[in-house]
Amino acid sequence: MYPGKNAGAGMLLDGETLEPLSCGVSVISKKEYSFSTDTVLLASFSMPKTGEKCADFGSGCGAIPLIWLARSNPGQVYAVEIQSEACGMITRSAELNAFTGRLKVINGDINNLKGGRDMPCGLDLISCNPPYTENSSGLKSGGKSRMAARHEVLCDFGGIAAAAADFLRWGGRFCCCMRPFRLSGVISSLKENGMEPKCLRFVQYDKNRPPFLFLLQANRGGRPGLKVEPTLFVTSEGGEYSGEMKEMYGTYYGGKNGR
């Protein structure tokens, strides 16, 4: 069962709400720090294996680490976020869901992380839902937090790739999502930092529209060879969520196979 409407109410600050993620697990979110379909897709695509040490870069409200802990059995999980308000939300979400000992929140700049000081090197998995718009292009979204989430004002993808390579073990996995128009640049940045793209999946709303997102896994020190998985469709021909999307959302949207 999900926490009731009043569960965790004492932990909420002005403007915050409690959003269910999985059976018995919820996340504290607000307008400035929320999560989307892209978040759920990346969390599922990057799901860690039992006992793996993992980190989520630019964690926002912490939805990805919480989904991992709810639906898998990773070892230590790190949520790295530069904005202190969001870090406070993640910390309270971890306490609410009894994940405090397994989820460590790091309030820091991805570009300045130091191995051994902030978190250990040799991680098995790192995920990142990065800003989609390069800092030199596009209209800037209003508000500091929204701008940081959507535009590369605090870090660019090259910096994210470099930091991931520093903290991953040899053969460790880096998973990200991004808009298709940036695929070439993303692959170039990964290769420049010693990470080989290994698995690519495009996401479309339906068969009549082009992909709006791709999910990509790269391995540190991996051998060349990219597997392209079947396209993931968000909706079925009837306009409802596809079976695969219902499985990913789980009980959040009442899927029969939700966890």
181-235: pLDDT as tens digits:
999 999 999 999 999 999 999 999 999 999 999 999 999 999 999 999 999 999 9
Q: Once rounded to an integer, what is the mean pLDDT over residues 18-40?
A: 93
pLDDT of 134 over the 90 cut: no
Closest CA to 234 of 258, 200, 208, 205: 205
Question: pTM of the full predicted structure?
Answer: 0.88
pLDDT average, residue stretch 38-63: 97
What is the structure's pLDDT at 155? Answer: 83
Provide the β-strand partners of residue 22: 25
For range 7-21, the mean pLDDT = 86
pLDDT at 115: 83
pLDDT band with cut points at 50, 70 and 90 for residue 8: low
pLDDT higher for 106 or 115? 106
Domains of the chain listed by start with CATH number: 34-252 (3.40.50.150)
Q: Is the pLDDT of residue 61 over 50?
A: yes
- 258: pLDDT strictly greater than 50: no
- Range in 64-68, 131-135, 146-150 the model is least confident about: 146-150
The residue ranking higher by pLDDT, 233 or 10, is 233
Dist. CA 143–CA 56, nearest whole Å: 23
Among 58-67, 123-132, 135-144, the range scoring the smallest mean pLDDT is 135-144
